Amino acid sequence: MVDTTRGASPGGARSSVPSGRGLAGCTFFPANGGLRGHLRVPGDKSISHRAVLLGAVSDRSVQVEGFLHSADTLATLAAVQALGVAVEDHGHGRLTVHGRGWAGLVEPDNVVDVHNAGTLMRLLPGLVAACPFLVVLTGDASIRRRPMGRVLEPLAAMGATVWARAGDQLPPVGIRGGALRGVRHEMTVSSAQVKSCLLLAGLRASGTTEVIEPGPSRDHTERMIRMGGASVEREGSPTGPGLVRVYPAETLRLPDLAVPGDFSSAAFPLVAALLVPDSELTVEGVGLNPTRTGLLDVLRAMGARLAVMVDAGAPGAEGVGESTGSVTAGSSDLKAVDIGAAHVSLMIDELPIWALAAARAEGVSRLREAGELRVKESDRLSALATLLRALGVRVQEYDDGLDIEGRPEGWASGRIETHHDHRLSMVGAVAGLASRRGVTVDDVTCTNVSFPGFVDTMKKLTGSGRSV
Ligand code: S3P
């Protein structure tokens, strides 16, 4: 049950607000009777960004279905339009991106505002690194704290001219494209954003570009580059370190694209179903790319009741696109688990909701080698420690992780600070559904960054009950 009243308690006065849009605070009440049924989640954010960015340099117009209409991905649409690419938005997640190759891109006549979108901030410099003009990018307060040296330094080594604040580390950033040469770049931390940026630049470089990753990270860019007819390969272990190599391409010719549901969004209702008694919930049409679904392995190791059904004939079956399927979760008694580097990059965006599951598990769960969480939309290690403590959970914070002392008996109530971080807001909502008296979340508007309609979806899932 969801009360979209600012900070109300169940018995308190409430001014009723009809939908999740335009809200600030919200109280989420226990989902008595369990979460049951089937649902679909909005399109995958990572793939939606890439469909538009790669569509913009494709040498044919690309139809996209299932595009995520969210704050982050609309920033990407606006960015390619600023680069001179026509985009038709037919509604209901259907777009036509009228790419005319790299030669169709023009110098934007203003600063490109990425808003809160880290993926756009990291990938766009790679896309334009060989274009003979200037692109300046900035974003919101959270974006202006996020490290950019990790992409700007290798792009400069490839031949682009770059500028940024704080010694070329922080946005705003400027990039003037140049003649690029391929480099071999070794990442100290696995990052799909850094890898993707360099692969996009590598398509326009002379010679090959190689990116060494300490562990696998999401590979949507590689899959889409291959779908466009260019060559990219990965050497190494599928579950360990690897070298990703891209070859220059004169053109990219993308087929029409279908974006699956976002596994990272599905993770919230699925974990809610694990934590709320009498639940059995299925999320359908969700992307099951193995570089994204590390959370499922970890939850299974914790004793979660989960079932996965891969869709027959899904694009993944041909080995070019992304597998999709249904994931069903049922109420479960969880036990603690330890997480290290091997899992972190395969569930980087699911670690916040995993932390809530760990808070209900029997025993102490240890998360390590997850320092990257400090440079996401918020400092997620510190914010998660505060969030869990607000529920009465004992947490020890480390430079690169957390120890979480699980409380299988759950929590009564709490007030959650999100720092305007969409994923923390959704963690707070799930904490409320799984609570005894309700949890107040200070900002739910930020869920529009990745999961528009989140509050309404939660309302529907929990039935009419006490929801407003
Ligand atoms: C993303 C990669 C991840 C993830 C982000 C989206 C992407 O970042 O946290 O939300 O679309 O490539 P890093 O790869 O930098 O960890």
DSSP one-letter string for 301-334: HTT-EEEEEEPTT-GGGGTSS--EEEEEEE----
What is the set of domains in the chain, with CATH numbers?
2-43+260-461 (3.65.10.10), 45-258 (3.65.10.10)
Q: Could you list the pLDDT tens digit for every one of the 468 residues in the chain?
A: 455 443 333 322 222 223 344 457 999 999 989 999 999 999 999 999 999 999 999 999 999 999 999 999 999 999 999 999 999 999 999 999 999 999 999 999 999 999 999 999 999 999 999 999 999 999 999 999 999 999 999 999 999 999 999 999 999 999 999 999 999 999 999 999 999 999 999 999 999 999 999 999 999 999 999 999 999 999 999 889 999 999 999 999 999 999 999 999 999 999 999 999 999 999 999 999 999 999 999 999 999 999 999 998 755 444 347 899 999 999 999 999 999 999 999 999 999 999 999 999 999 999 999 999 999 999 999 999 999 999 999 999 999 999 999 999 999 999 999 999 999 999 999 999 999 999 999 999 999 999 999 999 998 888 633 332
How many Cα atoms sit within 13 Å of 435 on the Cβ side?
A: 28
What number does the ligand 1 atom closest to the CA of 195 have?
A: 14
256 assigned to active site? no
DSSP element (H, E) containing 344: helix 341-344
CA distance 463 to 244: 47
**Which amino acid residue places its CA nearest to atom 13 of ligand 1?**
191
Catalytic residue among 44, 113, 262, 349: 349
Q: Residues 438, 399: contact at Cβ < 8 Å?
A: no
Q: Can you read off the two tokens belonging to residue 383?
A: 């914010």
Ligand 1-lining residues (CB < 6 angstroms)? 46, 118-119, 191-193, 196, 217-218, 348-349, 372
Phi-psi region of 152 (alpha: psi -120 to 50; beta: other; left: phi over 0): alpha
* Angle ∠(346,350,353) on CA atoms, nearest 5: 150
Residue the block writes with tokens 């040296």: 149
Nearest CA among 379, 329, 371 for reference residue 146: 379
- Closest ligand 1 atom to Cα of 123: 12
CA 217 to centroid of ligand 1, rounded, Å: 8
Considering only CA atoms, which residue is closest to atom 10 of ligand 1?
349
pTM of the complete model beyond 0.85: yes
d(CA 236, ligand 1 centre) in Å: 21
* Cα-to-centroid distance, 349 and ligand 1 (Å): 8
Q: Which of 54, 116, 218 is the best mutation target for the ligand 1 pocket, counting ligand atoms within 8 Å of the beta carbon and taking the most?
A: 218
CA distance 159 to 150: 15
Mutate to test the pocket of ligand 1, among 219, 295, 348, 376 (most ligand atoms within 8 A of CB): 348
